Each structure stands twice: as C-alpha cells, then as structure tokens.
C-alpha cells in the first residue's frame, strides 16, 4: 500500500462531491494528511506536485512536472 493512498482517496472524494461543505471537510482532511506526511519525512516539493496531480487528474502538465522532478531527484539526490 502506497504512503499516498489516503491522500489519493481524499482527493477522489473532493473531485466526486459537489456539495461545498463536504468538499471543505475533505480539504481539511487533506491538510492534516499533508502535515502528517511532511512530519514523517516526505519531500515537500514532491508532496506538492503529487497533490497537484491528484486534484486535477486530466492535467498532463502536472504529471510531467512530477515525473521530471522524480527523475531529477534520482539523478541528483539531495544532501542528507
């Protein structure tokens, strides 16, 4: 199971629901989940790009940027 599985589910709920109050509730859940992931050591930029992809699944530019970021990160790992 992916560490982003809960985030994927939450963004699916946001895209599915039309009621604004329900969407706001799920955005609050997303905020908490993003905080939890950042505290557990997930890269902030990668998380931002993943959320951008999940928020709008038909945005091919967001997917390309995420792929490019991951590729660049594997080629040039950050200093620990």
User: Which 3-state string (H, E, C) describes 4-60?
Assistant: CHHHHHHHHHHHHCCCHHHHHHHHHHHHHHHHHHHHCCCCHHHHHHHHHHHHCCCCH
How far is 6 from 63, CA to CA, in rounded Å?
Answer: 19
Residues near 10 by Cβ (< 8 Å), separated by ≥ 6?
26, 29, 30, 33
- Rounded Cα distance between 53 and 64, Å, is 9
Question: What confidence score (pLDDT) does residue 77 get?
Answer: 76
Residue 69, domain member (yes or no): yes
Cβ proximity of 22 and 30 under 8 Å: no
Q: Is residue 80 part of a domain?
A: no
DSSP secondary-structure letter at 3? T
**Domain region containing 37:** 5-75
- Looking at the structure of the chain, the number of domains it has is 1
Establish if 18 belongs to a structural domain. Answer: yes
80, pLDDT greater than 70: no
Residue 75: pLDDT band by 50, 70, 90 thresholds?
confident
């Amino acid at each position: 199971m992916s560490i982003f599985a809960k985030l994927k589910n939450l963004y699916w709920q946001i895209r599915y629901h039309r009621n604004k109050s329900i969407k706001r509730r799920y955005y609050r859940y997303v905020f908490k989940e993003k905080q939890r992931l950042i505290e557990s050591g997930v890269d902030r930029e990668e998380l931002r790009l993943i959320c951008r992809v999940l928020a709008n699944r038909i945005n091919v530019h967001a997917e390309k940027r995420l792929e490019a970021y991951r590729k660049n990160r594997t080629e040039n790992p950050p200093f620990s």
